[in-house]
Amino acid sequence: AALPAPDIAGLDEVLRTAVTQGAPGALARIDDNGTTYQVTRGVADLSTGQDISADDRFRVGSVTKSFSAVVLLQLADEHRVDLDAPVNRYLPKLLPDDSITVRHVLGHRSGLYDYTDDMFTQSVSGFEVVRNKVFTYQQLVALALKKPRTNAPGAAYSYSNTNFVVAGLLIEKLTGHSVKTEYENRIINPLELRDTLYVHPDTRIPGRYAHGYLTPDTAGEELVDATDQTVSWAQSAGAVISSAKDLNTFFSALLGGKLLSEARLAEMERFTRVDSTSSYGLGLRRRDLSCGISVYGHTGSVQGYYTYAFATEDGRRAVTAVANTSNNEGVLRVMAGVLESAFCGKE
């Protein structure tokens, strides 16, 4: 059945509400079968008052996990990795349990503890400790292995950044290249994603970008400009920089079958239910909307930026929406409304 037309007025209302809830600015871009819609509210920079633009670069956070999953699934297509093999076959003795497989890692079913739970208990001070730090993947995995695992391998879904740090280690071991090189060779260059960069460990966002502001844990305290950071605490789990246009191109291409074989895309879309409206596949989320449509993509929450990047099953309509604040549940919840406006149209 044909999709309802996007509700642009509704989309604008969502972004306006996100700003009243505390985001300095918000942007959204819909690419719908060749037609583009762009909506913005508020500012990219609190110090200059510069308006936010739908073309601004931003930190995508965990949308990076979809990039890492695509690289590993392409390696599976090339018979260079077996998704059901133990991670330890490729990275001897990395993990304490030979039964943790590559598929467990990509589906957040490994049970590996998420080291960021300890890192960011205090949002601002935790961020200030790591914002200029450079970690190795091994250091991050070692932090996770200090804590008990959350479940037996494959027994349950439990979201953990550690899984996609392991994915980064796998990519580098299997290809002999950095994740940067593999993102560029397999995704960024073929799709001509001109705004998409992996600059780790550089702390700056090149070109035109929206500043990102971390909301403090204590109400009423000043927002913290979190724009410049290494994101070394996340790397292959969260350090990509991109734009709304590029993320729409990426998810449209992925879901349109341009990045993976049908078989591998089907494996990426084998979902575990997370809650009443969302499920997780391999580095891919599915959100079930009120109008009966399911959309596929990923969310991101990195200091200063909330991202929703989703597309229809055939990839013909995609939306990316960003609010340039984080640690603000109200903004995160409101921003989920962009999916209803973009895909379900007017109520």
Ligand X SMILES: CC1(C)S[C@@H]2[C@H](NC(=O)CCCC[C@H](NC(=O)C[NH3+])C(=O)[O-])C(=O)N2[C@H]1C(=O)[O-]
Contact residues toward ligand X (CB under 6 A) are 61-62, 116, 120, 123, 126, 159, 161, 214, 238, 299-303, 326-327
**Minimum distance from residue 62 beta carbon to ligand X (Å):** 3
Active-site residue, 62 included: yes
Closer to ligand X by CB, 120 or 310: give it. 120
**Minimum distance from residue 216 beta carbon to ligand X (Å):** 10
**Minimum distance from residue 14 beta carbon to ligand X (Å):** 17
The angle formed by the CA atoms of residues 263, 294 and 17, to the nearest 5 degrees, is: 135
In one-letter notation, the amino acid at residue 186 is: R
Catalytic residue among 47, 53, 62, 178: 62
**Minimum distance from residue 35 beta carbon to ligand X (Å):** 28
Closer to ligand X by CB, 81 or 241: give it. 241
> What are all long-range contacts of 285-294, with beta carbons under 8 Å and residues at least 24 apart?
285/310, 287/339, 289/339, 289/340, 289/343, 289/344, 290/340, 290/344, 291/4, 291/340, 291/343, 291/344, 291/345, 293/3, 293/343, 293/344
Closer to ligand X by CB, 279 or 303: give it. 303
**Minimum distance from residue 79 beta carbon to ligand X (Å):** 30
* Contact assessment for residue 297 and residue 284, using Cβ atoms and an 8 Å cutoff: yes
* Residue 201 preceded by cis peptide, ω within 30: yes
| Residue at token pair 């931003």 | 58
**Minimum distance from residue 302 beta carbon to ligand X (Å):** 5
- Round to whole Å and give the CA distance between 262 and 149: 33
Closer to ligand X by CB, 95 or 223: give it. 223
Closer to ligand X by CB, 81 or 163: give it. 163
Closer to ligand X by CB, 102 or 224: give it. 224
Q: What count of other Cβ atoms lies within 10 Å of the Cβ of residue 68?
A: 29
Tokens encoding 80: 């260079």
**98: Cβ contacts below 8 Å, ≥ 6 apart:** 86, 88
- DSSP for residue 222: P
* Contact assessment for residue 264 and residue 254, using Cβ atoms and an 8 Å cutoff: no
Catalogue the active-site residues.
Answer: 62
